[in-house]
Structure 1
Amino acid sequence: MIRVLLADDETMIRAGVRAILAADPEIEVVAEAGDGREAIDLTLAHRPDVVLLDIRMPRLDGLAAIAELRRTAPGTGVLMLTTFGEDEYIARALGEGASGFLLKTGDPRELLAGIRAVAEGAAYLSPKVAHRVITELTGGRMSRTAAAREQIADLTPRERDVLVLVGAGLSNAQIARRLHLVEGTVKAHVSAILTRLGARNRVQAAILAYEAGLVDPAASGS
């Protein structure tokens, strides 16, 4: 069972999201929060697998809440859910350590897929967000190919193999099957990669994989 905490200051939005999640027997909403501070308190109380976090909320907004959650509940995945698709919000949310980013205007199936991916330790970006990020990585202000290649130069060949699959959005279990490794070994490789790259989480590592040219944006399903 995937345990989810839903944080949004709009009661109607929470009700709609809860209804979508209720259709999946493997997902359980363990708590709901109406602001960022309450989301942090309830996360510490319930220890959910995934926090669905709106960006604009009273008392403490979602962006500030991410930083606090990364410090106090590092084992919980944070999936941003918002109506705002501007690059500024995407970049800041991912920079603060979010595991994924969804738009409220997206397909409900994206919501379920995103929760499953983040619960399994993978990264998830909705197709519209992924397109925007990839566009920036391949030609915009976030393109830092030379620096990224230098940054990954010290990775071992196996770590590079794992990083490619992290960049493609695969979970540890999926990477283990693809590379014929045990899941614990993959987890150790991912931990070493994050440390070597100075990345906060898998999303930041995936971005570096794109920047370094290890992942073909056209072939990615993230």
Structure 2
Amino acid sequence: MFFITFFFGGFGVHHFIRRHYGLGVLYFFTFGVMGIGWLIDTIRAFVAMFKTSSEPQTGGHRCRQCGRRIEPNRDSSLCRHCEEQMEQDYLQISKHFTRVIDEVEKGQPHLEDYLRRFDILNKDVEQMWDLAQDIDVEPPFHQSDLRKAMDRKFAEAVSTRISMALEKSQITMDTLKLKQELMALTEELIDCKYHFPKYAELIAPMIEKTKETLNKI
């Protein structure tokens, strides 16, 4: 792992190998956090290499994460250090996941903000599932359940926007203003479909719904 970190660590290869995809992407685009993260990781890998080589060669097995020898009586494929680190990473991602969920629940002024947060939540769940497989923890959401909940939340946000526009028009008796708001909502949905093509199946019915409401006016 030392040589991989030394030669390719600036591009985050060692993190991709360990399935730390978030760190891998960060290192790739910042060249190892401006070289500082790469240098620290290289030093750690260098020290770990000597620690591993100095350990007794009988009994136990090696950690599949860092290569250190694991105590013979430890029933895990991870050393204690890596397992503790993964548990901390999992806890941090869980906290971030909860925080973003709260933001979505509060509602966003623009529909694209929902979709951006959906992307963040999906990435968090992917990382949590990867870590959960290693440390035997059940994540709070399955990806399929999360997607259903997010789709429902997006549909509710669009329906709320339509309902609010209709209520305002009934109070002010301004059908022209209502048409303008619904047209603006339709354009916003079309922009969402363009910028987030993977949510196209979710957005398309919403566009039809706003157009249908417009035709009834």
Instruction: Tell me the TM-score range normalised by the shorter chain.
Output: under 0.3
Bigger fraction of residues in helix? 2
Larger RCO (CA within 8 A; separation ≥ 6): 1
Which TM-score applies when normalising by structure 1? Answer: 0.25
Determine which structure has more spread, i.e. the larger CA radius of gyration: 2
Bigger fraction of residues in strand? 1
